[in-house]
Amino acid sequence: MSDKTESQSGSSAEKLPEWGLRERITLKGTITALTGLRIGGTDQGLTVGGIQNILVRHALLNEPYIPGSSLKGKLRCLLERIYGIAGKPHGEMIQFGPAHDPECSVVQLFGNAADGNAAIPSRLIVRDARLSEPSRKQLSTLRGELRMSEVKTEVCIDRVTSAANPRTMERVPAGAEFEFEIVLEVRAVPSSAPKEPTAPARKDESLLEKTLKAQNNRRTKDNDWGRNDDLKLLLIALDLLQDDALGGQGSRGYGRVNLALTKIEFRNRDSYLKNNLKKDEDPLHLKIDDENAFKEAFGDKDGPDLWQRIQWFNKRGGDQKEALQKSLAQLGAT
């Protein structure tokens, strides 16, 4: 994955600037619900059997999915918790909002849109996670009040009179599998803001320069523009999620998930600009179980560390997932 500053676009060679997109790394895998999973949607206009809390659903397919915003927000929150960082209040309810410090590696990875001209675009694209085809077939066999889900009734009990106030929650059953995709953009930033006579004055030039300097301090050509460090952060966040909960009501047993990485793909800047891609220039697929491939891709220092992290990551929760799938098979659900 060499870093080239010249590419062939059309019939003439074009000198590209030293900053901008370097490559994109795509992580693909599965999220399996080990307990019922709930990410809420809107119940506007819906009255089915008195169900008060429904799932977010694909508008056309009418099936549950995991919004990329929910997954990305959870990953960022887990990282900021473990590093003990937070930002300004957000609205009336949130007293400790997302971190904003441009020096922070988590902020540089996930982005910061709060400071106008000094905003840091996110280096991550977290796509919506759709049901895998086997799970889609399994959940289609359910015959409940709502399609592809289960309804769980809970009660709030009066501590004095013992009166019960029931509530109903729709959730995705344990065993459901979703396919996720996260894209990491490896990007170099300019050392200073461009000076254009016709450009409008920026609101806070010093803040912009500070933001650029903070990123350049962590991201240089020598460390592949922070690529390996960003990948480590992302793997830490995904690992934390397996010990936490995705979606709502996590403290009541909802949202325990198993994640497995199944594929890593690379595509550099040259491959986007060339007109005629050869087969061996298609996105590079990295073999998850090949340590030597990781050394070649990420270097002798970081390659083995990233490889070990992924091996450990993929083993986590595997026993619970296997037992759950075995139970489903015995019940004839597969």
Segment 270-323, tens digit of pLDDT: 888 875 455 555 567 888 889 999 999 999 999 999 999 999 888 876 767 777
Q: What whole-number distance in Å separates Cα of residue 86 and Cα of residue 1?
A: 35
Can you tell me which residue has the tokens 């359910």? 142
Q: Is 69 helix (H, G, I), strand (E, B) or coil?
A: helix
3-state secondary structure of 8: strand
The answer to whether position 137 is within a domain reads no
Question: Are 22 and 188 spatial neighbours (Cβ–Cβ below 8 Å)?
Answer: yes
Asked, for residue 5, whether it belongs to a domain, the answer is: no
Query: What is the b/e burial string over 223-241, where b = at least 16 CB atoms within 10 angstroms of the residue's CB?
Result: ebbbbbbbbbbbbbbbbbb
- Within-domain flag for 51: no
Q: How much is the pTM? A: 0.84
How many other CB atoms sit within 10 Å of the CB of residue 100? 18
Classify 21 in phi/psi space as left (phi over 0), alpha (psi -120 to 50) or beta. Answer: beta
**What is d(CA 317, CA 241) in angstroms, rounded to the nearest whole number?**
11
**CA distances, 322 to each of 34, 82, 83, 312 (Å):** 10, 29, 32, 16
The C-alpha atoms of residue 105 and residue 116 are separated, in whole angstroms, by 19
- For residue 89, tell me if it sits in a domain: yes
In the chain, the number of structural domains is: 1
User: What is the amino acid identity at position 212?
Assistant: L
Task: Dump pLDDT digits (tens) for 310-330.
Answer: 998 888 767 677 777 777 776
CA–CA separation, 227 and 298 (whole Å): 9
Give the domain extent around 277.
15-35+58-132+173-193+205-330
pLDDT-derived band at 100, boundaries 50, 70, 90:
confident
User: Cα separations (Å) of 203 from 111, 115, 197?
Assistant: 19, 10, 16
